[in-house]
Amino acid sequence: MSLRHALLGVLSARPMNGYSLARFFLASQNWVWSAPRSQIYSALKSLEDDGLIDASREEGRNGLVTKVYSLSPAGQAELDHWVSTPQPPSPHRDAFAVQALHFDAIDPEDAATVLRAYLDDQRRQLAEWESHRDALASRSTPLLKERLASRPAGEHERIATLKAHVFEGQAMQALARIAWAEQALELVAAGVSVATPTG
């Protein structure tokens, strides 16, 4: 996946200026693909240069002229093609897993401290994903409201259910990581202290 496709996906809801797009992105896509605002604006320029989005100048409520971006036919075709094409898995990089591989080299209490912090983070993520899943299922997120406004009412349930299911998957993964870390805590607690090398 690329940031470009994530932005095309946001723009498929409705045309919007860069500020609104970044706000919607950070409130929706950022759950699964993070990017700072500077990258978002750079990607918008690239998408415009490549003809995948169109930009028009419009006067805002405050009298300032702003660029409003919309999906071009080529951009819609690119998004459709990307969404309907199986993607290779992203390269897997997990700093915590590398850290856990070396728990045998440190004192068990230090490993337990790291595991407890990991558990706290996973529980926080679980709560966020479950909350976002529920908001999508109830059709109350701002971007989903925008998307549903432009789609036939008969599609609303399907759209909301599919989007909520993505975050159900994220929640299930967090639950598995929590169960794993709780088991790892038990294993670490059963261990013995690392002997200090002598000589």
In a domain, 198, yes or no: no
Task: Give the structural domain span for 73.
Answer: 1-84
CATH code (residue 79): 1.10.10.10
Other C-beta atoms lying within 10 Å of the C-beta of residue 61: 5
Residue-wise pLDDT for 108-152, tens only, equals 999 999 999 999 999 999 999 999 999 999 999 988 999 999 999
Note whether residue 55 is domain-resident: yes
Residue 28 has pLDDT above 80, yes or no: no
Which amino acid is residue 172, in one-letter code? M
45 lies in some domain: yes
Amino acid at position 117, single letter: A
Helix axis angle for 108-137 and 156-189, nearest 10°, is 170
* Cα distances (angstroms) measured from residue 137 to each of 32, 63, 132, 146: 17, 37, 9, 15
Pair (106, 178) in one structural domain: yes
The pLDDT tens digits of the residues spanning 162-189 come to: 999 999 999 999 999 999 999 999 999 8
Taking only Cα atoms into account, the Rg of the chain, rounded to an integer number of angstroms, comes to: 22
